[in-house]
Amino acid sequence: MQKIVVVGAGQAGASCVAKLRNSGFDGPITLVGAEPVPPYQRPPLSKAYLLGDMTLERLFLRPESFYSDHDITLRLGTQVTGIDRAAKQVQLADGALDYDALVLATGSQPRRLPASIGGDLDNVFVVRDLADVDAMAPKFTKGARALIVGGGYIGLEAASVAAKLGLQVTLVEMADRILQRVAAPQTSDYFRALHQGHGVDIREGVGLERLLGDQAVTGARLSDGAELPVDFVIVGVGIAPATALAEQAGLALDNGIQTDAHGRTSDPDIWAAGDCASFPYQGGRIRLESVPNAIDQAEVVAQNIMGAGKAYVATPWFWSDQYDVKLQIAGLNTGYDTVVTRQGDGQTASFWYYRGDRLLAVDAMNDPRAYMIGKRLIEAGKTADPALVADPGSDLKALLKS
């Protein structure tokens, strides 16, 4: 009977094992996770969970009983030390697991500050897993001085929680503007104003020279010579795919674990899904860091292990929650040359990205209608008349009929 082992008990790993069982696979399934808790949602960690609005149990993707009820073996708190492809074994610190099909859902890991500039001082945190957030949570006390390094979505979400809890927040971004890598200047302007309105000190075009302190961080020296007193630091300078196991096993890498359209790696018995996987997309290759991609790709891999022969067709979408603003993003804006603004009331707005006359993506702030219509247009390969988009009095639904 075929044995399936899934390494990585995050969103992709949990989705894969559930899909296998729901699709009728009745062989042994083992899900191996490095953390001591069952698979859980990561996005609320830096928002609702950190704010104290969500309990640990509500973070869990499924009750722990789901896995035993569906005869899925959970190996939690377990480190995988290697893969023996010839023997078809996953090597653990305390033994080995045989597999017929292996799924790598190892996710990604946060980039950290180098020790040479104080990155190893106490009270310097990243936001990636439950242990990270549990460690930093006691520091979120009113009046505490927090430094956020990095003006991407993780940094901005952490800043919004800190500001809501009454901390003194400074955010530094080395690039010319926050969100420069992922969004248009219009979106950057929107979120800069939002954060400044909540008292966050945003410093753009300013890098971190080094953190100060002997054992624990006490301050920071910035690239413009400014020095700040600091009680703790959150580092949000991006993530990298977790490919160490794949590299050790000799699998092909390309900005992640290289897969074909079905999710199969360069070894026909090993598959990959989620943040760690690089897959074919529109004539090139892409790696997506999002919950929807992790779920959808892992479910396609599960079906293909069972012989479906189904290509994974990504429909990228993302979201971010900051204060009382929900940002929803449809599509990928890579290569845009025009941005059209649709201004709503108050904090409602959307920015529509075009390359030539082709609609690529939509950033929608507190505007679920703009998001859903943009998403449907992009998925259908349709565009949207920029003049209609820009007119706040126009009916966006009409775009779907054109």
pLDDT of residue 8: 98
49, 60, 140 from 134: Cα distances, Å? 9, 15, 11
Q: Closest Cα to residue 171, out of 117, 116, 222, 238? A: 222
pLDDT of residue 2: 93
H or E element at residue 202: strand 201-204
Residue 74's CB: how many other CB atoms inside 10 A?
19
Q: Closest Cα to residue 128, out of 210, 188, 50? A: 50
Cα–Cα dist 131/106, whole Å? 17
The distance of Cα 381 from the centroid of its chain, to the nearest Å, equals: 25
Kindly report the length of the chain.
Answer: 402
What top-level class would CATH report for the domain 4-109+239-305?
alpha beta
- The residue assigned the tokens 């190996």 is 75
- Pairing mode of beta strands 168-173, 239-241: unpaired
Domain residue ranges in the chain: 4-109+239-305, 112-235, 324-401
Cα–Cα dist 400/339, whole Å? 20
DSSP secondary structure letter of residue 251: -
24, 106, 113, 189, 312 from 237: Cα distances, Å? 42, 20, 9, 20, 29
Answer for the pair 171, 148: CB distance below 8 angstroms, yes or no: yes
Q: Tell me the CATH architecture of domain 324-401.
A: 2-Layer Sandwich (3.30)
Same fold for the pair 4-109+239-305 and 112-235: yes
Question: Digits of tens for pLDDT over the chain (402 positions)?
Answer: 799 999 999 999 999 999 999 999 999 999 999 999 999 999 999 888 988 899 999 999 999 999 999 999 999 999 999 999 999 999 998 899 999 999 999 999 999 999 999 999 999 999 999 999 999 999 999 999 999 999 999 999 999 999 999 999 999 999 999 999 999 999 999 999 999 999 999 999 999 999 999 999 999 999 999 999 999 999 999 999 999 999 999 999 999 999 999 999 999 999 999 999 999 999 999 999 999 999 999 999 999 999 999 999 998 999 999 999 999 999 999 999 999 999 988 889 999 999 999 999 999 999 999 999 999 999 999 999 999 999 998 988 888 876
DSSP string, 33-95: -SSSS--B-SGGGGTHHHHTSS-HHHHBSS-THHHHHTTEEEE-S--EEEEETTTTEEEETTE
pLDDT of residue 401: 79
DSSP string, 362-388: EEEES-HHHHHHHHHHHHTT----HHH
Burial class (CB in 10 A: 0-12, 13-18, 19+), 60: middle
Determine the 3-state secondary structure of 338 from DSSP.
Answer: strand
pLDDT of residue 399: 84
Answer for the pair 245, 82: CB distance below 8 angstroms, yes or no: yes
Answer for the pair 351, 339: CB distance below 8 angstroms, yes or no: yes
**Four-way CATH pick for 112-235: 3.50.50.60, 1.10.3720.10, 3.40.50.300, 3.10.20.90:** 3.50.50.60
Report residue 307 as tokens.
């012989």
